[in-house]
Chain A
């Protein structure tokens, strides 16, 4: 079953009067439970593609289906609901809420969902914090953490809602090799146990080793599917 279906996806950016095409017509589908990597040189459109799949950017043309929902025709409220309930996003930079501690940052999307009891929220958040190796830093604010630690918090936050799809833009870029490997193992474990779909962009060969499928991008187009 396809969790993502993309047809003729195009995205143009406008720099004054100049049109800069970022994606030039992409078609592909992703099955549920995929562990997929998007690769390509800088400017190839990796981040744009992830942003559109992650509902934080909009296509200029084409359609994107998440599950059975066509997101290109949705309003802001519906799009936000998709982001909350179906997608976990790990950004290139860490983007944590500075006034919340590690535990509260991880709990944040669960609290927005308003579906779970306080106890369950705490239990799930703590389990993931432990999984990313930050149990000792549970009450630390983002400013008191290293770059790698912050990235791990962001990963825990992306996974805590058990989303259908996790999008990760260079997830291990700021992590040391050991922590990076731990994170990838965690993602793989979730992929296998929960059938969570992972799509990540990377330049890291160690990350590529984990990918079951790779989509190579060049100049805004899929170069060749592997």
Chain B
């Protein structure tokens, strides 16, 4: 081995130009592969962290009637089924030691009504804001006005949603009683300043599964910006849960429970497909002359009597944060078994499934990045193979003479592998080390984006590549693989050189 290494090392020095070409390619390959791995890991970690810590937690409880697991980015018009039994769900969740925090929320699309222009649309998140902030502290920055206080009615409008609202309706939203802050206007709004319609409220009309919604005028309390993935979460206006329930037509905690006559109960329990029965001999409609508020119908349909507490009203989702993300699927299975045993009519889905389009796009981008890394890998292999093959052909006399003197083919193979391994070990390791340094330094440059796709690539609003031990081992494995794959063909050529080739060449 000493002899092989000696010859390999001296050959590298003898053919400095070629060695440098191979070395530089290995260096660049290893460097870019390390950074690529870092970006992939950073994206994965960033998305995970920003989705879990910034918005929905590790798992989401949804109604069993909910068909799609994608509850976060379901297209507008697709509503999320309500959950009426949160107090019972809460009991189950509170009893699980592995759960750190959880918060019930309402989430559905809503139409934004106004007198001046066409309807706008937005996702609305209905929360008990104080409770929500305990689970997702600091996930938003206040840019104008203030956050929601106590149980007050109001909505927090993300900058992104305000911009979209302006572009669609020409209405510029400001917090209640506040004036337009010129520096916060978009370029187009600034140009159009004279004709700008300024409002400090929004009229929401919820979109629920039964189309039994009402219009709710909600004061804008603040303009916010989400700390991460702002262009995604920016579609979500945050509303107090009671306003949300009202606009969605759900039973709200402020509404008192009213006794429902047996005729009304009979009417409410009728199959909606057989409404003709209402006019048959039983005559329920005729006997019960009192009208029933629409909101009561909603809760009665769910079979719930509404106590006064806020939590007894309807929600759509429960966001759950775990103490540890390990064994996520197993924990979800445990919860699902418990929900089923207790017949709560809900199920739990993991954050990846719940975040739908983001999760899918992340996988695609991850695949593309991986493809890029493979492309680099192939380019490096092709150039190295070419250079090493040329080197083998230029050394026919030397290799043939070695074989004539008694060197086995394995000696020639080991000599080539050693040469490539030395180059790969030196330049490749340097590339990996520099790649690690780059990955560590990049976050300090705070490279940010407002573009949705780039935000996905970054795993958040800022590029924060990250490497763990697995990535470094992966980079080393890729380097070893490049070395081994690169050397196969040149070694085949070199091993095929016979002593006679050397003699006849001379």
Report whether B502 and A85 are in contact in the complex, using a CB–CB cutoff of 8 Å.
no
Which B residues, 396 to 444, have Cβ-Cβ distances below 8 Å to chain A?
A: 397-398, 401-409, 411
- State how many angstroms separate the Cβ of A35 from the closest Cβ of chain B: 22
- State how many angstroms separate the Cβ of A43 from the closest Cβ of chain B: 14
Given that A92-B506, A95-B506, A100-B7 are known contacts, is A157 also in contact with B405, CB under 8 Å in the complex?
yes
Report whether A112 and B503 are in contact in the complex, using a CB–CB cutoff of 8 Å.
no
Q: Most chain-A CB neighbours within 10 Å: which of B7, B401, B502, B506?
A: B401
Q: Is B11 an interface residue (CB 8 A)?
A: yes
Report whether B506 and A80 are in contact in the complex, using a CB–CB cutoff of 8 Å.
no
Q: Most chain-B CB neighbours within 10 Å: which of A56, A81, A89, A92?
A: A56
As a 0/1 sequence over residues 117 to 143 of chain A, the CB contacts with chain B under 8 angstroms (1 = contact) are 000000000000000000000000000
| A95 contact from B7, B10, B401, B406, Cβ within 8 A | B401
Q: Is B500 an interface residue (CB 8 A)?
A: yes
Could you say which residues of chain B place their CB within 8 Å of the CB of A111?
Answer: 3
Report whether B404 and A89 are in contact in the complex, using a CB–CB cutoff of 8 Å.
yes
Report whether B406 and A97 are in contact in the complex, using a CB–CB cutoff of 8 Å.
no
Could you say which residues of chain A place their CB within 8 Å of the CB of B10?
Answer: 99-100
Please classify how large the interface on chain B is, using the bins under 10, 10 to 19, 20 to 34, 35 or more. Answer: 20 to 34
Report whether B500 and A56 are in contact in the complex, using a CB–CB cutoff of 8 Å.
yes
| A91 contact from B7, B401, B402, B411, Cβ within 8 A | B401
Could you say which residues of chain B place their CB within 8 Å of the CB of A97?
Answer: 7, 398, 401-402
Given that A92-B506, A97-B7 are known contacts, is A56 also in contact with B14, CB under 8 Å in the complex?
no
A90 CA / B249 CA spacing, docked (Å): 101
Question: Which residue of chain A has the shortest Cβ distance to B8 in the bound complex?
Answer: A99
- State how many angstroms separate the Cβ of A78 from the closest Cβ of chain B: 11
Question: Which residue of chain B has the shortest Cβ distance to A105 in the bound complex?
Answer: B405
Given that A92-B506, A111-B3 are known contacts, is A98 also in contact with B398, CB under 8 Å in the complex?
yes
As a 0/1 sequence over residues 227 to 256 of chain B, the CB contacts with chain A under 8 angstroms (1 = contact) are 000000000000000000000000000000
As a 0/1 sequence over residues 71 to 90 of chain A, the CB contacts with chain B under 8 angstroms (1 = contact) are 00000110011011100010
Could you say which residues of chain B place their CB within 8 Å of the CB of A57?
Answer: 500
Report whether B406 and A99 are in contact in the complex, using a CB–CB cutoff of 8 Å.
no
Q: Is B499 an interface residue (CB 8 A)?
A: yes
- State how many angstroms separate the Cβ of B478 from the closest Cβ of chain A: 30
Q: Is B498 an interface residue (CB 8 A)?
A: yes
Question: Which residue of chain A has the shortest Cβ distance to B10 in the bound complex?
Answer: A99
As a 0/1 sequence over residues 1 to 34 of chain B, the CB contacts with chain A under 8 angstroms (1 = contact) are 0010011001101100000000000000000000
Q: Is A108 an interface residue (CB 8 A)?
A: yes
Q: Most chain-A CB neighbours within 10 Å: which of B10, B402, B406?
A: B406
Q: Most chain-A CB neighbours within 10 Å: which of B403, B407, B503?
A: B503
Q: Is A109 an interface residue (CB 8 A)?
A: yes
Question: Which residue of chain B has the shortest Cβ distance to A58 in the bound complex?
Answer: B500
Report whether B406 and A80 are in contact in the complex, using a CB–CB cutoff of 8 Å.
yes
- State how many angstroms separate the Cβ of B402 from the closest Cβ of chain A: 7
- State how many angstroms separate the Cβ of A125 from the closest Cβ of chain B: 13
| A85 contact from B401, B406, B407, Cβ within 8 A | B406
Question: Which residue of chain A has the shortest Cβ distance to B402 in the bound complex?
Answer: A97
As a 0/1 sequence over residues 8 to 36 of chain A, the CB contacts with chain B under 8 angstroms (1 = contact) are 00000000000000000000000000000
Chain B binding surface, main DSSP class: helix
Q: Is A51 an interface residue (CB 8 A)?
A: yes
A28 CA / B355 CA spacing, docked (Å): 87
- State how many angstroms separate the Cβ of A11 from the closest Cβ of chain B: 12
Could you say which residues of chain A place their CB within 8 Å of the CB of B408?
Answer: 77, 80
Report whether A81 and B500 are in contact in the complex, using a CB–CB cutoff of 8 Å.
no
A51 CA / B498 CA spacing, docked (Å): 12
Given that A92-B506, A99-B10 are known contacts, is A84 also in contact with B500, CB under 8 Å in the complex?
no
- State how many angstroms separate the Cβ of B399 from the closest Cβ of chain A: 10
Given that A91-B503, A92-B506, A111-B3 are known contacts, is A84 also in contact with B405, CB under 8 Å in the complex?
yes
Could you say which residues of chain A place their CB within 8 Å of the CB of B3?
Answer: 108, 111-112
- State how many angstroms separate the Cβ of A152 from the closest Cβ of chain B: 16
Report whether B401 and A84 are in contact in the complex, using a CB–CB cutoff of 8 Å.
no
A85 CA / B411 CA spacing, docked (Å): 16
- State how many angstroms separate the Cβ of B6 from the closest Cβ of chain A: 8
Could you say which residues of chain B place their CB within 8 Å of the CB of A89?
Answer: 404-405
A89 CA / B401 CA spacing, docked (Å): 10
Could you say which residues of chain A place their CB within 8 Å of the CB of B411?
Answer: 112
A91 CA / B398 CA spacing, docked (Å): 13
As a 0/1 sequence over residues 58 to 98 of chain B, the CB contacts with chain A under 8 angstroms (1 = contact) are 00000000000000000000000000000000000000000
Report whether A99 and B11 are in contact in the complex, using a CB–CB cutoff of 8 Å.
yes
Q: Is A93 an interface residue (CB 8 A)?
A: yes
- State how many angstroms separate the Cβ of A82 from the closest Cβ of chain B: 9
Could you say which residues of chain B place their CB within 8 Å of the CB of A91?
Answer: 401, 404, 503, 506
Q: Most chain-B CB neighbours within 10 Å: which of A51, A85, A91, A100?
A: A91
A100 CA / B7 CA spacing, docked (Å): 7
Could you say which residues of chain B place their CB within 8 Å of the CB of A84?
Answer: 405-407
Report whether A83 and B406 are in contact in the complex, using a CB–CB cutoff of 8 Å.
yes
As a 0/1 sequence over residues 440 to 480 of chain B, the CB contacts with chain A under 8 angstroms (1 = contact) are 00000000000000000000000000000000000000000
A47 CA / B3 CA spacing, docked (Å): 31
Could you say which residues of chain A place their CB within 8 Å of the CB of B506?
Answer: 91-93, 95
Could you say which residues of chain A place their CB within 8 Å of the CB of B398?
Answer: 95, 97-98
A96 CA / B3 CA spacing, docked (Å): 15
- State how many angstroms separate the Cβ of B477 from the closest Cβ of chain A: 31
A98 CA / B500 CA spacing, docked (Å): 19
Could you say which residues of chain A place their CB within 8 Å of the CB of B402?
Answer: 97, 108
Additional A-B contact list (8), CB under 8 Å, known A80-B408, A99-B11: A56-B499, A77-B409, A83-B404, A95-B506, A97-B7, A99-B13, A109-B405, A112-B405
**22 sample A-B contacts, Cβ–Cβ < 8 Å, listed by A number:** A47-B503, A51-B500, A51-B503, A56-B498, A56-B499, A77-B409, A80-B403, A80-B409, A83-B404, A84-B407, A85-B406, A89-B405, A92-B506, A96-B401, A97-B398, A97-B401, A99-B7, A99-B10, A100-B10, A108-B402, A112-B406, A112-B411
